[in-house]
Amino acid sequence: MKFEKFACYRFWFLVGSQDLYGKETLDKVETHAQILVNSLDQAPALPFPITYAGTMKTSTEIEHIIRLANGDETCAGVIVWMHTFSPSKMWINGLSLLQKPYCHLHTQFNRNIPNAEIDMDFMNLNQSAHGDREHGFIAARMGLPRKIIVGYWEDLDVQQHIGSWMRAAYGALISKQLKIIRFGDNMRNVAVTEGDKVGVQIQLGWQVNTWGVGDLIREMESVSEKEIDLLVQQYQEEYEMATDQIESVRYQAQEEIAIRRFLDRENAMGFTNTFEDLQEMRQLPGLATQHLLSLGYGYGGEGDWKVAAMTALLKTMTADLNNGTGFMEDYTYDLEGGNELSLGAHMLEVCPSFASERPRIEVHPLGIGGKEPPARLLFEGHPGKAVLVSLVDMGGRLRLISQDIEVIKPILPMPNLPVARLMWRAAPNFKEGTQMWILVGGAHHSTLSFDITEEILEDWSELMGIEHLHIGKESSVKELKQQLKISDLIWRIQVR
Ligand code: MN
């Protein structure tokens, strides 16, 4: 059984062959293809269903199936495999029309060569080794972006690569539908949270629009006491009520209901606000935003709509995994030589999907903004390998930055810190990793995810046509500087 939200999309599996082989061989190709696709469809490493879409023998068939794939909203991508030799001039007209993410699986039906039995009939039936080379050539010649996965189809690593690419393809599809609501504008004078919203919509499909905070306040006024009662009851079930200031908690519930109604009415997947523009709202949404994040909505503080969208997107791409994905900010450091650590948090809005313990609802004053003390969730993050992701606008082009991190259990209790927090060690090490993040222009805001991977981000960036720079254990400042010089050239001339 596939995860419910993923089950309404499917990937089409196209097998390449040609008429030359005759019916007997083509029947075998068909049987093999169905066995392979059914097995992949059942594989837990593939989060999405996969459907056998036929064995292609002529250019007419190929063009027809590509047009069908393009027109089918439930088709999230196309995977091809040449079981036999499939002359690639047959594929040109079809592939030139292809608008869906494209993956070339280079495998063969049999794992081993049957040494004792092998004859020319076997050789002619099982010739992916050269059929897929002919196919690879035409995709290279046409300059088509595609994912190439090599290996035996029953092997876990091959299935994991397919699964990873499926998430990226799904992310490309969701990107084209993604809407973000901004309540108010960005925090004044901040640079990195700005960006070209028209350019982003052309490139990524994101629709980012602003509503006045007054519109949200009016929505809050229409929330009933009964609705607040029900949500507070839900808070009590999910979290530990560690405050007697129930009115503050009820106010957060009122904010959450109003924001959620707004988002759902506009079909939006995330939102931003800023403590600088709350108008008559009495509290900055804290618990409200945290609970919305836990439900899968994206959020960005201080009007940061790019991080709100990335958070919504990465949550959606990994919605079946639940190891924790949310909005994050590099806050402060522990600079103990050789064991330097980052302490990440935000004013309030840390996603409870990171929690290592049952979150506590507490009410504390906020140092800035001059509003009432807001209710918020407090917890420590759980340990594990994760990735920080930041999308920045470089002026006419977008750059996606990611970095491997190791989240650790915070070294000491911090009894006076009234926000949820995570502590981590950046790759390849604190000094070089942080130098590289700053060198490439990575923001102080990011999406932290225990579920996303470099591979998914790389494939997604390629599908969206944007630059991706990853900082991992192999990265070095020297090589990154070289890479930046080259990619600055490449991406500058690719500006639309
Ligand atoms: Mn911030």
- The rounded Å distance from CA 326 to ligand 1 centre is 13
Q: Which of 175, 201, 224 is the last residue of a domain?
A: 175
Span from the CA of 319 to the centroid of ligand 1 (angstroms) = 25
Cα–ligand 1 centroid distance for 188 (angstroms)? 12
Residue 259 and residue 165 in one domain: no
In a domain, 276, yes or no: yes
Are 188 and 60 members of one domain? no
Q: How far apart are CA 328 and CA 330, in angstroms?
A: 7
**Average pLDDT, stretch 326-334?**
97
Tell me if 400 sits within 8 A of 469, measured CB to CB: yes
Structure confidence by residue, pLDDT tens digits, 93-130: 999 999 999 999 999 999 999 999 999 999 989 999 99
Write out pLDDT tens, residues 60-103: 999 999 999 999 999 999 999 999 999 999 999 999 999 999 99
> Considering 175, 210, 237, which residue would you say is the last residue of a domain?
175
Per the structure, the complete domain to which residue 415 belongs is given by 179-495
In this structure, the answer to whether residues 224 and 281 fall within a common structural domain is yes
123, 144, 175 - which closes a domain? 175
Enter the pTM of the model: 0.97
Are 277 and 391 in a shared domain? Answer: yes
Are 449 and 315 contained in the same domain? yes
* Domain co-membership, 266 together with 400: yes
Task: Report, as an integer, the average pLDDT of 280-298.
Answer: 98
CA–centroid distance, residue 217 to ligand 1 (Å): 22
Give the number of other Cβ atoms within 10 Å of residue 40's Cβ: 24
Quote the ligand 1 centre to 68 CA distance (angstroms).
45
Same domain, 381 and 481: yes
For residue 331, report the distance from its CA to the centre of ligand 1, in Å: 9
What's the number of domains the chain is made of? 2
The per-residue pLDDT for range 466-487, each reduced to its tens digit, is: 999 999 999 999 999 999 999 9
> What is the 3-class SS of 253-318, one letter each residue?
HHHHHHHHHHHHHCCCCEEECCCCCCCCCCCCCCHHHHHHHHCCCEEEHHHCHHHHHHHHHHHHHC
CA 472 – ligand 1 centroid, Å: 24
Distance 244 CA to ligand 1 centre (A): 28
Cα–ligand 1 centroid distance for 329 (angstroms): 6
Q: Residue 66's domain is classified under what CATH number?
A: 3.40.50.10940
Would you say residue 419 lies in a domain?
yes
CA 81–ligand 1 middle distance (angstroms):
47
- For ligand 1, the distance from its centroid to the CA atom of residue 302, given in whole angstroms, is 6
Is residue 284 in some structural domain?
yes
How is the beta sheet containing 102-106 ordered, strand by strand? 50-56, 10-16, 75-82, 102-106, 147-150
CA of 445 to the centre of ligand 1 (A): 6
pLDDT of residue 494: 60
* Tokens describing residue 357: 């313990």
Torsion angle in degrees (nearest 10) through CA of 246, 249, 253, 258: 110
Q: Does 396 lie in the same domain as 283?
A: yes
Same domain, 160 and 283: no
DSSP structure class, residue 20: G
Ligand 1 center from residue 343 Cα (angstroms) = 14
Ligand 1 centroid to residue 358 C-alpha, Å: 25
**387 C-alpha vs ligand 1 centroid, how far in Å?**
18
CB atoms within 10 A of CB 209: 12
Q: Name the amino acid, one letter, at 292.
A: L
Which pLDDT score, from 0 to 100, does residue 410 have? Answer: 85
Q: What is the pLDDT of residues 245-287, one digit of tens each?
A: 999 999 999 999 999 999 999 999 999 999 999 999 999 999 9
Question: Do residue 166 and residue 186 come from a single domain?
Answer: no
- Co-location of 89 and 171 in the same domain: yes
Question: Is 1 within the bounds of a domain?
Answer: no
Say how many Å lie between the CA of residue 189 and the centre of ligand 1.
13
Residues 163 and 275 in one domain: no
CB 31: neighbour CB atoms within 10 A? Answer: 11
Strand duo 398-408 + 422-426: pairing: antiparallel
Cα of 475 vs centre of ligand 1, distance in Å, is: 27
What rounded mean pLDDT belongs to the chain? 96
- Residue 321 belongs to a domain: yes
